[in-house]
Amino acid sequence: MSPSSILLFIGVAIGIAAMLAACVRRGGLRWRIGAAGALLTALSIAFLLTGGTPLLPPGGRVTSHGALDQLIAGLWWLLAASGLSFVVQYTLGHDGRSRQSRLMSDLLSAGTYLGALLAVMSFVLKLPLSGLVATSGIVAVVLGLALQSTLADLFSGIAVGVEQPFRLGDSISLGDGIEGSVSQINWRSIRISTDDDDVAIVPNSAVAKARIVNRSFPTSRRGAGFEITTGVSADPERVRDLIAQALLLTPAVLERPAPSINLVRLGMKTSTQKVHFFVDSPKQLGQAKSVALRHVRTLLLQAGLLELPGNAHPTDQANPLSSMQLFESLTAEQLDCLSGTFTAREMAVGDALFQQGDFDTNLYIVADGVLEVSRRGDDGALEIGGRIGPGDYIGEIGLVTGASKEVSAVAKTRTVVQILTKETLEPLLKSSPALAQAFEASVKRGYVLLERGRIVRPAADARGITDFLPRLRAFFHPATVAAAGVERQIPDR
């Protein structure tokens, strides 16, 4: 093959490579590796056809043809370094979580290009490197003294990158109290997005010396705990049951692994239970602990097992209705009359209070234990609506409207439910229209606070909560509707 043909072949290869480079600018690393490999192969074939090599170009005086050989040889080394750099980036950064963690890939790429530059200077340009090495040693000492802290961060970053105690997106805690999610890893530092929506920039040298706790490895599940102290007169088993109920009422607390509740101290005046539980994510931990502690306090107060300081007294155990928002407007006499008409039902774990589609007009008040509320969707999938515990109620929409149950309620623990029937409430409504209005306002608040729009929905013919009072009066006593001036008669259901 003539030299002109070889040069033409090389020109065509360079043109094709330029076109590929333009096409792969929007592509990924695979396209870049392919383009670099194609041009490198073309240049290697050109060297084979001419009998040359990028290692040993023709010596002597540099002619125009020799200058072209040097240019092609330099381009070959540049493409080799570029292709190897792309391979390193693809190998170390193919995982989506580590693409922004570029420390090791950047260092290896920089070393590859530096090696290619030295090869071009030595093999292609025939420059002596001994003087350059001696000069670079002096420059390196000066730069090392001037950039001591920066180099410490750099090499600490290399050490951390090799060990990989965390990855991008992991939730970590450093020894100096910084905790959050790793948002960026670079040459000098790491960036941590804290739970307070701040960004903490920590130098790599500080990271290498700190005690690192990775909250995301091997799983993102996070455990925490607290202690509950009660008087020694409180039955530890009863306290343990109430704490277990409080954890069941906390949505973020996982059932698996199961929470642990252990009696750790039993003194002359107090006893202490240690509680430990798990949540799915570190971000849920603070809220879950707060909700669990509030539920524990409420349940212990209702059971009379929590001693309050000073003259404070726990909830009135003779009439637990007084603490319920649904009946907060009733007088003490009305509450006493109402509480004497309740019927109690004891339920074992797994017993159903009612099933979706059932019809009844009872109001159910949880006296002890936990009920799980669920509904089955149109596709047959079971949807968990939530859990209710002591002091909570369910069924008021069915009591007022007569609608069928939109949900099922099943006992998660041993449960005691107090049942209030329509016939029990009817005399109170007949004797006091103001009580009906107070009952309406209380049910409205309970409807909003307990998200009854999501858990219990009225039947399709219900006319909304705005005309709730006329429907309430009509349901219990149709004559009351006419007496109140309501034009349209609503039949009793």
- Whether 350 is in a domain gets the answer yes
User: What pLDDT score was predicted for residue 67?
Assistant: 67
- Whether 491 is in a domain gets the answer no
Q: Which of the pair, 358 or 5, is modelled with greater confidence?
A: 358
According to the per-residue pLDDT averaged within each range, which of 94-98, 177-181, 397-401 is highest? 177-181
Q: Average pLDDT of the chain?
A: 75
Question: Rounded to the nearest 10 degrees, what angle do helices 148-163 and 130-146 cross at?
Answer: 100
User: What pLDDT score was predicted for residue 366?
Assistant: 92
Residues 182 and 291 in one domain: no
Token pair recorded at residue 75:
């381009």
Token pair recorded at residue 277:
């539980």
pLDDT tens column, 20-71: 555 555 556 666 677 777 777 777 776 676 666 676 554 444 444 466 667 7
According to the per-residue pLDDT averaged within each range, which of 55-64, 159-168, 370-379 is highest? 370-379
Asked if 415 and 346 count as a contact pair (C-beta separation under 8 A), the reply is yes
User: What pLDDT score was predicted for residue 28?
Assistant: 61
To 5 degrees, how large is the angle CA 188–CA 189–CA 192? 165
Token pair recorded at residue 79:
């493409």
pLDDT confidence tier of residue 6, bands split at 50, 70 and 90: low
Residues 205 and 229 in one domain: no
- Tell which residue, 382, 398, 376, 411, has the closest CA to residue 452: 398
pLDDT confidence tier of residue 306, bands split at 50, 70 and 90: confident
Which of these three, 127, 143, 164, is where a domain ends?
Answer: 127
Which of these three, 78, 112, 127, is where a domain ends?
Answer: 127
pLDDT tens column, 215-228: 888 888 889 999 99
Going from the C-alpha of 127 to that of each of 4, 25, 110, 120, 399, the distances in angstroms are 29, 34, 21, 9, 97
Tally the domains of the chain: 4
Going from the C-alpha of 409 to that of each of 118, 253, 351, 365, 455, the distances in angstroms are 77, 20, 9, 12, 11
Residues 171 and 258 in one domain: no
Q: pLDDT at residue 419 above 80?
A: yes
Residues 68 and 36 in one domain: yes
Q: Which of the pair, 262 or 117, is modelled with greater confidence?
A: 262
Whether omega for the bond prior to residue 257 falls within 30 degrees of 0, making it cis, is yes
Query: What CATH code is carried by the domain that includes residue 446?
Result: 2.60.120.10
Give the lowest-confidence range in 15-19, 29-33, 482-486. Answer: 482-486
pLDDT tens column, 470-483: 555 555 554 444 33
Residues 259 and 275 in one domain: yes
Q: Look at the pTM and tell me if it is higher than 0.75.
A: no
Bridge partner residues of 223 (DSSP)? 278
Token pair recorded at residue 403:
């609608």
Which of these three, 92, 127, 162, is where a domain ends?
Answer: 127
Residues 464 and 336 in one domain: yes
- Whether 103 is in a domain gets the answer yes
Write the CB contacts of 276 (distance below 8 Å, at least 6 apart in sequence): 223, 224, 225, 259, 260
Structural domain range at position 164:
153-214
Residues 436 and 458 in one domain: yes
Residues 157 and 273 in one domain: no
pLDDT tens column, 257-286: 999 999 999 888 899 999 999 999 888 888
